[in-house]
Amino acid sequence: METVAFFGLGQMGQGMALRLLEGGYKLNVYNRTPEKAREVIGKGAEFFLDPATAVSKTKVLVTMLSDDHAVNTVTNEPVLQALGDGGIHLSMSTIGSAAAEELVRSHAKHGISYLACPVFGRPDAARAGKLWLCLAGDESAKVRIRPLLELIGQGIYDFGPSPSAANVAKLAGNFLIASAIEAMAEAFCLAEKNGVDPNQVHAVLSQTLFACPIYQNYGRFILEQNYSPPGFTLALGSKDMRLVRDTARNSQVSMPLASLLEDRFLRSLSKERGDMDWTAIAIDQREAAGLTNT
């Protein structure tokens, strides 16, 4: 089985890399913080201090990084030259559509196929190979990369030949998740302020009208005020709401709720909650409702 370069060993990247190692892939890994590579090295991955060297021995690069800047920084000219003609870059980060389009152009200059494949799922799903994958880009590259994707995902949804389409789909999904978090935070406060047990409200609604993992699991986190350790940080949620707003603005789409969410996340960041789970925006709602937090 071929060697794959894997960049980005945060909570999500760590689980994905371990899945690939267990599936028989050889990994050349790079991470800005070397200490985070300890577990994958123990499972057989080879760590490189220089990203260009890591990709020089492979034709497939997978990145799972935090934002546009991180992806642009790590896919610099030396890295693209090392990956070279016929290479594939599978970008699994949640980035803006404009950034994705620029990456397509910079990669094409080197004969590299750029695939966007942002994911839905939390770290435990990444480790179990149960992510939902949004894929877009060159068709022949998709065929080459499919065995790898099947190891880390339980479903692959193809959004066509334009990589930016997958990123727009991911942003739309994260907007809906954040909207559900906001709606539950408000609804639970409404119940509590009127003497109704919010746990009972959640029980009936998450088993009937809203019987799905987002309402069931995130609702439980909000009610338990269980925001650490984070599965997805509030700081990253804020970044995604900014990207949603940027994309909407660039395409002239009015999104009033996205504006509200961006403000909610920014207010939470100002109160130093960025390292909490993104469901911690519910704290701000409780404060606005005059409720105390445990």
For the question of residue 239 being annotated catalytic, the response is: no
Helix axis angle for 281-288 and 163-193, nearest 10°, is: 30
Percent of the chain past pLDDT 70, that is, above it, reads 100
Catalytic residue selected from 59, 142, 170, 239:
170
Please compute the mean of the pLDDT values over residues 227-254 and round it to a whole number: 97
Write down the mean pLDDT value for the chain.
96
Say what the pLDDT of residue 294 is.
74
Q: What is the pLDDT of residues 71-105, one digit of tens each?
A: 999 999 999 999 999 999 999 999 999 999 999 99
- Contact between 6 and 28 under an 8 Å Cβ cutoff? The reply is yes
- Contact between 206 and 216 under an 8 Å Cβ cutoff? The reply is yes
Structural domains of the chain, with CATH: 3-160 (3.40.50.720), 167-288 (1.10.1040.10)
Can you spell out the DSSP letters for 219-236? Answer: HHHHHHT--SS-SSBHHH
> At a CB cut-off of 8 Å and minimum separation 6, what does 189 contact?
198, 285, 286, 289, 291
> At a CB cut-off of 8 Å and minimum separation 6, what does 129 contact?
19, 151, 152, 153, 154
Calpha distance 285→188 (Å, rounded): 10
Calpha distance 117→69 (Å, rounded): 17
Please compute the mean of the pLDDT values over residues 129-139 and round it to a whole number: 98
Beta strands in 121-176 (DSSP E): 131-135, 153-158
Say what the pLDDT of residue 293 is.
81
Calpha distance 166→78 (Å, rounded): 26
Return the sign of the alpha-carbon dihedral for residues 158, 164, 166, 169: negative
Please compute the mean of the pLDDT values over residues 188-216 and round it to a whole number: 98
